[in-house]
Amino acid sequence: MEILGIVAFIVAMLFSVMVHEFGHYITARRYGMRVSEFFLGFGKRLWSFTKGETEFGIKAIPAGGYCKIEGMAPGDEMPVGEEDRAFYKASSGKKLIVLGAGSFLHFVLGYLLLFVLFAGVGTTQVLPVIGEVVPNSAAQAAGIQVGDEVVSINGVKVSVWIEDVEKIRNSEGKELTLGLIRDGQEITVTATARLTDVEGTKRYLLGIVNTVGVQRTGVIESTTKAFTLTKSFITESVKSLISLPSKIPALWGQTVRGEERDANGLVGVVGVARVSGEAVGSSALTGSERLATFLLIVASLNIFVGIFNLLPILPLDGGHMAVAIADEIRAFYARLRGRARPAAIDVTVLTPVTLVVFVILACLTLLLLVADVINPVTFNL
């Protein structure tokens, strides 16, 4: 099962790459740019076919993919008669849309996975079903039984137990009317919560212990929950990227000196794949919980990759977007001075900077790979 989880993760990531590159492809074609290649993987060409002017296919190294848009820089050669279809000749707005489409679809994919999680698979929640009645409690005195499902409190329908239970805790000793489902029949009971000391805190309790299980939510609620969690993942991804440089020294110590890996520290793709495998193969989780954990991992990783690609550094999409924005700023100042629009910035001039960034990212990737292999993070799934 663990191997199955790792394979599923690899397939999910390759699919995410295809979605990312499709974003570039479809928007570039929409704006009349020439797209000559769309490949999954790098290295030697294994299989391909040509449709229109674009060659689609698979290459030997499944470590990503690419969509080749012609004319990224002024020095790139274009087929005769198609010079105006070069990427660098497009307006800055069109460039930004094409460049940002990949990350945008990462966010869309992450959101859809979370929606499927809430609406189709379900999440582990405290359910309004009584699993235990505390002896000599208000619940026992009211005749509440194990297996009863609380469907309303004071006439208000129960929807999310962890929120609705606050009506009991805030009842201040007033009588509560509970609607229950027992053996398929709806009944009504009255009970008065008693003020009880819980680890030094006084709370009004009935004396019931609810069951925990996987529960799906409705379409509308799932839409909202998926949006909220997507926003949370975006926020956490930004925080992680901001704190990334400060975590590299600790990663070095965990890799070279064998110090214990921090579960909240940096984890590479290999580490995430292993965690995915552990989640799918865990005997401590139910089938639904395994699938839910897998969807959470893939969704959060898609959102993180989407944010990472927007960093304003070359060779990332965000770096090219920064160049497009700089082009527009230069054009704006030229208009203010009554001058012609300056030529587009040639990104090849920035090649030395791109190479430096590439080397840094490659070194970090290698460090994470070694750490994930020789000193993996343990999550106790």
**pTM of the entire predicted model:** 0.84
- Taking CB atoms within 8 Å and a gap of at least 24, the contacts of 286-294 are 286/214, 288/121, 288/122, 288/214, 289/124, 289/214, 290/5, 291/121, 292/117, 292/121, 292/122, 292/123, 292/124, 292/214, 293/381, 294/5, 294/8, 294/9
**Do residue 102 and residue 206 come from a single domain?**
no
pLDDT at 124: 84
User: What token pair was written down for 44?
Assistant: 């030697």
Q: Which of 21, 37, 70, 278 is catalytic?
A: 21
First to last CA, the chain: 14
Query: Can you give the pLDDT at residue 227?
Result: 96
Q: What is the CA radius of gyration of the chain?
A: 28
21 tagged catalytic: yes
Q: Do strands 175-182 and 156-157 pair parallel, antiparallel, or not at all (unpaired)?
A: unpaired
Does residue 42 lie in a domain region?
A: no
Instruction: Identify whether residues 167 and 225 lie together within a single domain.
Output: no
CB 20, CB 27: distance < 8 Å: no
Q: What was the pLDDT predicted at 111? A: 98
Residues 367 and 339 in one domain: yes
**Does residue 298 share a domain with residue 153?**
no
pLDDT attached to residue 213: 84
User: Among the three residues 180, 198, 215, which one is the final residue of a domain in this structure?
Assistant: 215
Indicate whether 112 and 158 sit together in one domain.
Answer: no
CATH code (residue 149): 2.30.42.10
Are residue 349 and residue 297 in the same domain, yes or no?
yes
User: How far apart (Å, rounded) are the C-alpha atoms in residues 101 and 59?
Assistant: 23
Contacts of 36 (CB under 8 A, 6+ apart): 53, 54, 55, 68, 70
**What is d(CA 34, CA 292) in angstroms, rounded to the nearest whole number?**
40
8 Å CB contact between 252 and 375? no
pLDDT in the model for residue 193: 93
Residue 334 and residue 289 in one domain: yes
Asked whether the beta carbons of 200 and 172 are under 8 A apart, the reply is no
Domain match, 149 and 20 both: no
Pairing of the two strands 149-153 and 201-205: unpaired
The structure tokens listed for 68 are 């080749």
Q: Are residues 277 and 328 in the same domain?
A: yes
Last residue of one domain, picked from the residues 189, 215, 241: 215
Quote the domain boundaries for residue 82. 1-34+70-122+218-381
Whether 148 and 180 map to the same domain: the answer is yes
**92-110 burial, b if ≥16 CB within 10 A, otherwise e?**
bebbbbbbbbbbebbbebb
Q: What is the pLDDT along the chain (381 residues), one digit of tens a residue?
A: 678 888 889 889 999 999 999 999 999 999 999 999 999 998 999 999 999 999 999 999 887 899 999 999 888 889 888 999 999 999 999 999 999 999 999 999 999 999 999 999 998 888 999 999 999 999 999 999 999 999 999 999 998 888 888 999 999 989 999 999 999 999 999 999 999 888 888 889 999 999 988 888 889 999 999 999 999 999 999 999 999 888 888 888 888 887 788 767 788 888 888 878 887 777 777 788 889 989 999 999 999 999 999 999 988 999 999 999 999 999 999 999 999 988 888 888 888 888 998 899 889 888 888 888 888 876 655
Give the domain-ending residue among 215, 243, 261: 215
